[in-house]
Amino acid sequence: MEVVEGVMNQEKKWIKAIQKRSSEEAADQLVRAYYKEIYAFVYKQTYDPELAKDLTQEIFVSMLRSIYRYDGRSSFRTWLYKIANSRIIDYYRSRSYKENKHATIPSEEILEEPENFTVTIEKKEEAREMLDILARFDAPYQQIVRQKIYAERTFAEIAAGMDLPESTVKSKYYAVVKRIRKELKGERNE
């Protein structure tokens, strides 16, 4: 518990240093503390390492531009995930995604394992179909599903971050999952 409190206190110091003095060193430390976690969150939703790097960079730029408005009412992690969710939702709604979604090149790690190539491609295609369907939902629904699946947050954490009752978060999550399953089955039966 002391380690967690120590990390949170250090995080608060970095945030205050950025807000009061525009400290580049504090900004670097804060980004380093969350970079791998946010990159993994984005990568799980894009399956494209370069795109994940670009989106992660955009998320941190946005975070640094708006950190002056961070008031500490929610945890910094929750606030950062809100920014990440918004950026990912924007990406999946963008013209760029819609025009390029079928032109994705398989990553090198897939090509190195030929026996798993077909299975991996099928899983990636299924994940892309799911993300396409998810992108049609309103932002709050997307945020709940993305945080639950890709950030591996609990319903209680999501509810606290969105200032909603946990029961509402659960019902929205399961409603979206049910609809995604139904649409995926419908697309496969066509």
pLDDT digits (tens, 9 = 90+) for 42-101: 998 888 899 999 999 999 999 999 999 998 888 899 899 999 999 998 888 887 766 665
* Contact call for residues 180 and 130 (beta carbons, < 8 A): yes
Residue 125 confidence class, pLDDT cut points 50, 70, 90: confident
- CA proximity to 30, closest of 10, 47, 49: 10
Residue 41: other Cβ atoms inside 10 A: 25
The residue range of the domain holding 26 is 2-189
Taking each continuous run of H as one helix and of E as one strand, the counts in the chain are 10, 0
- Measure CA 112 to chain center: 27
What is the pLDDT at residue 189? 56
What tokens were used for 177? 């999952």
pLDDT tens for 141-179 read 999 998 888 888 899 989 988 889 999 999 999 999 899
- 63 exposure class (CB count in 10 Å sphere: 0-12, 13-18, 19+): buried
CA distance 91 to 189: 28
Is the whole model's pTM more than 0.75, yes or no? no
Number of domains in the chain: 1
Query: Which pLDDT belongs to residue 144?
Result: 92
Rounded distance, CA 89 to CA 71, Å?
A: 24
Residue the block writes with tokens 């910094």: 76
Q: List C-alpha distances in Å: 3 to 8, 17, 32, 71, 190.
A: 9, 21, 18, 23, 53
106 membership: H or E segment, kind and range: none
| Total Cβ atoms within 10 A of residue 146 | 24
